[in-house]
Amino acid sequence: MAARTKKVTVGIDPDSHVPGWAAAELAPTTPVAPDPTSAAFFDIDNTMMQGASIYWFARGLASRKYFTTTDLARFAWRQLRFRLSAKENATDMSEAKEAALAFVAGWKVADVQRLAEEIFDELMEPRIWAGTRALAQQHLEAGTRVWLVSAAPVEIGRVIAARLGLTGAIGTVAEIVDGAYTGRLVGDLMHGPAKAEAVVGLAGAEGLDLAHCVAYSDSANDMPMLTAVGRAVAVNPDSVLLREARQRGWEVRDFRTGRKAVKIAVPSTAAAGIVAGAVTAGLAARRRRLSK
């Protein structure tokens, strides 16, 4: 059977009811008995990539003098605190949402796209787990669509998907007016139950059968998404997800090594929000310095 190549416009589909929907060009594939109703959904942070994508984006901004290395060290410490405590509550999530709102306000979409592409090539691509990327490639070669699903801004997810030749990305969406971000979110943070709802919505829009789909994640926070599909795989799992996976008989893939694989907890979505908040604080301080 001849390889199939499908071109899809990169961007947020204005007619889609799926929050955070953004498509990338589909990579050419040679399907082997493809199932058009199946898809694979991959979390990004610590599943597809080592660490939090928003953190590496922040590192790239720091290297470009958008804020200081002191700001970066401050929110890196906060992220570590959340790694160790693995706690999320309503207050954390509210702070994360407010941080996301403040972070993008006034930015031009084209500038974020350019920076995300540059920073992916510099800092993110070397941290893509080779094993997870291989799993995604296997799905593509079997004619299965592959989507990233992350609490990270959909623009970052879209860049990662495009660079890896995946189908597209679902992520947190910021409102855009006249080519710039307003500082308001479209919907809520793509976290926990919101991920499952988005996957279900995408399945309806794309004609997928969730029983034929598979999801990959490192975090127990993604249990709603993992249980919404027919097959779940724990990748580099935190302790809670590892326990759940063993109880449910799910496949476990761990691409970390040694004691590190057992003891390091994953950063929570709230931690990513704290990162965004620290970036926001750094950008605000930079604006104040420039205005003097």
Residues annotated as part of the active site:
43, 45
Task: Give the whole-angstrom CA distance, residue 13 versus residue 36.
Answer: 21
Q: What sign does the CA torsion over 267, 273, 276, 277 have?
A: negative
Residue type, 92: D
β-pair type (39-42, 21-23): unpaired
Cβ-Cβ contacts under 8 Å for 208 (sequence gap 6 or more): 37, 38, 39, 202
CB atoms inside a 10 Å sphere around CB 207: 8
Q: What sign does the CA torsion over 35, 129, 60, 67 have?
A: positive
- Whether 235 and 245 have beta carbons less than 8 Å apart is answered as no
The DSSP 8-state label assigned to residue 105 in this structure reads T
Total residue length of the chain: 292
Taking the C-alpha atoms of 129, 132, 134 and 140 in order, what is their torsion angle to the nearest 10 degrees?
-130
Give backbone dihedrals phi and psi of 216, rounded to 5 degrees, phi first. -125, 135
- Whether 138 and 146 have beta carbons less than 8 Å apart is answered as no
